[in-house]
Structure 1
Amino acid sequence: MNYKPIQGFSKLNKEEKIKWIVSEYLHDNSDYEDILKQYWNENTALQKLHEEFSENTISNFYMPYGVAPNFLIDGKLFALPMAVEESSVVAAASKAAKFWLDKGGFKTTIINTQKIGHTHFILDTEAYKLKHFFNFTLKNKLIEATAVITRNMRKRGGGILDIELIDKTTDLPHYYQLKVSFETVDSMGANFINSCLEQFGKTLKEEINSSNEFSQKEKDSLQVVMNILSNYTPDCIVRAEVSCNIEDLKDDSGISPEEFAWKFKQAVTIAEVEPYRATTHNKGIMNGVDAVVIATGNDFRATEACAHAYASKDGRYSSLSHCSTDNGVFRFWIDLPISVGVVGGLTNLHPLVKFSLALLGKPNAQELMSILAVSGLAQNFAAVRSLVTTGIQKGHMKMHLFNILNQFGATEEEKQYFVNYFKDKTVSHHEVITELNKLRQK
């Protein structure tokens, strides 16, 4: 294929972009043009709003938006909005919520809410000299230089919590950091943090260049490499947990509460010690977390990156959730590092995001952290419960049944036939296709 580069693509209107794409990459197949256009919203104002969320938009990409009811969280009943395309996620979360509804529900604790950012810089100087300069001159100058930027955040109870000088010269020659901790209250705070850090970078240069403590050679060596928040927030963390007497773990799978508790704890312990299992285990947790993160207009990529970094904090990738069965009590919990906001970004723009936050009772950022941790724990409980009892495929493939049937253009009558057919059978792709062919031959 010999595609030609294009100049000024961003300046084309939506129709022109589509025509160029279809002509250049899709052999002028008008079916693709129709596919893109059928997802345009007929409400032109709403369509324009969506297009302005990103760049070079040519259509909308729809995801199912579901609701998982019956979540009792800290004594209050919630229905969780979940934007997710994977079969069984919403059903599994709902089933876990119902299981814990009469056992006290989910309890949460906000452990901390600090966020972190860094000014990364290179300076060929002695560490003790830089440390003295930082402690007696630079730190106060940095606070003063950002006073205007932080004023409104401070009024809301947030702002800069601390600034540290970190010596990283053993990792990279002449490499230092300004490590800054922030409280951003109800906003995720990325723009606020990055604005502060960029000012720190400027002030760092100005103060070192005007100081008599450094030689010209040292001043000439200074390079501010970058100023950026970190999506790893191990000090912005929430705990969610459930617990009950082991004898109350009655299950319709046919195994005793004692056996269920033992197998469940073993499964979680395996995820704690075995990275292969931990990866899939934590992916299941994030099925629940990401679905609510997306529905509330937050950044699921940041959430994922932070969770997986935290899972590796002890030098080996491990489970985010934990289980104990001491003194006849089953306890299952998760410590989740997560940075989210309920103001800024899409929260006041995207209509479904506004609906999601209204559905959740317009939570503040800490309340949303709690809800997200619960969504992950519930999803994890449902998955592990299936794994140690009936197996994951029985429930998952039943939810996947309609995806298979839709691939082969099944009618509503055919779909109803298969719902009845698989009432007492395990769904498999091969069995669906075989039976569908038989049905259509008849």
Structure 2
Amino acid sequence: MAKVISGFSKLSKKEKIDWLATNFFNNQNEIIETIKQYWNADEALQRLHDDFIENTITNFYMPYGIAPNFVINDKEHVIPMVVEESSVVAAASLVAKFWSTRGGFKTKVISTTKVGHIHFMYSGNKEDLETYFETQKNNLLKATLSITKNMRKRGGGILDINLIDKTKSLTDYYQLHVCFETKDSMGANFINSCLEAIANEFRRNDIDIIMSILSNYVPECLVRSEVSCKVQDLGGENPEKFARKFQQAVKIAEIEPYRAVTHNKGIMNGIDAVVLATGNDFRAIEAGVHAYASKEGTYKSLSHCEIENGIFKFWIELPLAIGTVGGLTALHPMAKLSLDMMGRPSAPKLMEIIATAGLAQNFAALRALTTKGIQHGHMKMHLMNILNQMGASNEEKNIISKEFENSTVSHSAVVQKLKNLRKNS
């Protein structure tokens, strides 16, 4: 069979796997067995997973962990996290316990407005376009009534439509900027359906509609999470020195993009893990968050820190467009479990939980960086991965783990110790 194929999507799953194994692997039988071993034994459940995307041949497992001891607005939470990186769940759990005895996390949703645009070109008189828009605005809203009916019953719908002149940036370019409230739904399909209906109603011969699409940049769908305590309550040998170094580390990320990117990546370790666990769209979240970090023209830290009158305060403010109904949240059994675990939160409540996970992860990273260094804890968590790669037995793992209890882990040191152990056994 050829490596370029037509009608691939029409093949059965078995035929797809056979074609893949035959054309791209030498050890066909081994590859087929590897693929099959990740199938779910429950055929109905496997069919459900198969239908999530196209051309499915198997499942790709990610670790699903939980971080306990989060106190958010005086309520205890356990947070589900799906992530492959060592130390993320452990770090979040440790920080959750640390702040649980210092007042916990305080959160609030600032706004929940989402946006979409109808992008179009118009070369005529601007005043004529403005007049046309104003006379058509009510009709544009009426064109969506059948689509927005159920959303309006839940208190959502279209908030406003505005005509935006973008001709200074691109010749003849205008937008219809549409604001939405989608309640507990992420709302992508709802928003796009509304936009297409509006575009069809707005269309005329001298208006060239380019596209109608929601935006994943949602600077008015904001949530804030913060922690605070007396500096002396931070603990450690010298809490004043720790607080000062911590604050300086944040300020560096506020003015240095090279540091800010890594700083915010650590925040997203926590955020993406919860977004994945709840069946939400982590790519949309990432794109919107990083755009928000650049809103002032330079890429900056998403978190901030201040010390005033002996009080240490650390907070994050970021955009999160997520949902707790519809989409994968209603289909994936583990997404349902995650939401049940957190008490079936509304979308705003989930925004608060996700932001808190990001702030906790950032606190853990900055505490490590400004004290023992990031590798001390990270590599200890990575130790098992290294030993598993080396095929270490349980007995060997126990011996090697004890040897690294009071020293920094490095890949080369672990390999050497394992070689010495096996040589002397």
TM (norm. structure 2) is 0.98
Residue 441 of structure 1 deviates from its aligned partner by 1.1
Residue 91 of structure 1 deviates from its aligned partner by 0.3
- 1:305 correspondence with 2:287: yes
Distance across 1 between alignment mates of 2:165 and 2:254: 32
Q: Which runs of 5+ in 2 are unaligned?
A: none
Distance across 2 between alignment mates of 1:316 and 1:271: 11
Residue 95 of structure 1 deviates from its aligned partner by 0.7
Letter in 2 for 1:320: L
SS of the aligned residue for 1:112 comes to coil
- 1:232 correspondence with 2:232: no
- 1:390 correspondence with 2:389: no
CA pair 49-123 structure 1, distance change in 2 beyond 3 A:
same
- 1:201 correspondence with 2:191: no
Residue 4 of structure 1 deviates from its aligned partner by 2.6
SS of the aligned residue for 2:417 comes to helix
Q: Which runs of 5+ in 1 are unaligned?
A: 210-218
**Equivalence map 1:389-428=2 (5 Å):** 389-428=371-410
Give the corresponding residue for 1:158: 156
Distance across 2 between alignment mates of 1:74 and 1:285: 20
Distance across 1 between alignment mates of 2:19 and 2:376: 46
Greater Cα shift, 138-147 or 123-132: 123-132
- 1:118 correspondence with 2:117: yes
Give the corresponding residue for 2:207: 222
**Equivalence map 1:288-437=2 (5 Å):** 288-437=270-419
Letter in 1 for 2:275: V
Give the corresponding residue for 1:248: 233
Q: Write the deviation string for residues 166-193 of structure 1: whole angstroms up to 9, x where unpaired.
A: 0011111111100000000000000000
Distance across 2 between alignment mates of 1:426 and 1:230: 45
Residue 27 of structure 1 deviates from its aligned partner by 2.3
SS of the aligned residue for 2:327 comes to coil
Q: Write the deviation string for residues 247-286 of structure 1: whole angstroms up to 9, x where unpaired.
A: 10103xx4x0100000000000000000000000000000
Distance across 1 between alignment mates of 2:158 and 2:389: 53
Distance across 1 between alignment mates of 2:164 and 2:27: 57
Residue 9 of structure 1 deviates from its aligned partner by 0.8
Letter in 2 for 1:192: F
Letter in 1 for 2:235: K
Distance across 2 between alignment mates of 1:234 and 1:3: 48
Distance across 2 between alignment mates of 1:149 and 1:289: 31
Give the corresponding residue for 1:141: 139
Distance across 2 between alignment mates of 1:153 and 1:74: 29
CA pair 3-424 structure 1, distance change in 2 beyond 3 A:
farther
CA pair 293-377 structure 1, distance change in 2 beyond 3 A:
same
Distance across 2 between alignment mates of 1:363 and 1:108: 14
Residue 222 of structure 1 deviates from its aligned partner by 2.3
Letter in 1 for 2:180: F
SS of the aligned residue for 2:191 comes to helix
Distance across 1 between alignment mates of 2:404 and 2:272: 30
Percent of aligned pairs with the same amino acid: 60
Give the corresponding residue for 1:24: 23
Distance across 2 between alignment mates of 1:365 and 1:434: 50
Give the corresponding residue for 1:40: 39
Distance across 2 between alignment mates of 1:387 and 1:65: 26
Distance across 2 between alignment mates of 1:104 and 1:72: 8
Letter in 2 for 1:50: H
CA pair 86-3 structure 1, distance change in 2 beyond 3 A:
farther
- 1:183 correspondence with 2:165: no
Greater Cα shift, 298-307 or 11-20: 11-20
SS of the aligned residue for 1:330 comes to strand
Residue 410 of structure 1 deviates from its aligned partner by 0.9
Letter in 2 for 1:247: Q
Residue 393 of structure 1 deviates from its aligned partner by 0.3
- 1:69 correspondence with 2:68: yes
Q: Write the deviation string for residues 199-232 of structure 1: whole angstroms up to 9, x where unpaired.
A: 0110111xxx3xxxxxxxxx3x421111000000
CA pair 437-28 structure 1, distance change in 2 beyond 3 A:
closer
TM (norm. structure 1) is 0.95
Q: Write the deviation string for residues 64-115 of structure 1: whole angstroms up to 9, x where unpaired.
A: 0000000000010000000000000000000110110111000001100000
Give the corresponding residue for 2:94: 95
Greater Cα shift, 28-37 or 16-25: 28-37
Letter in 2 for 1:87: S
Letter in 2 for 1:149: I
Distance across 1 between alignment mates of 2:239 and 2:86: 28
Letter in 2 for 1:145: A
Letter in 2 for 1:13: S
SS of the aligned residue for 1:169 comes to coil
Letter in 1 for 2:306: S
Distance across 1 between alignment mates of 2:35 and 2:155: 46
Q: Write the deviation string for residues 34-73 of structure 1: whole angstroms up to 9, x where unpaired.
A: 1111100111011000001111000000000000000000
Residue 28 of structure 1 deviates from its aligned partner by 4.5
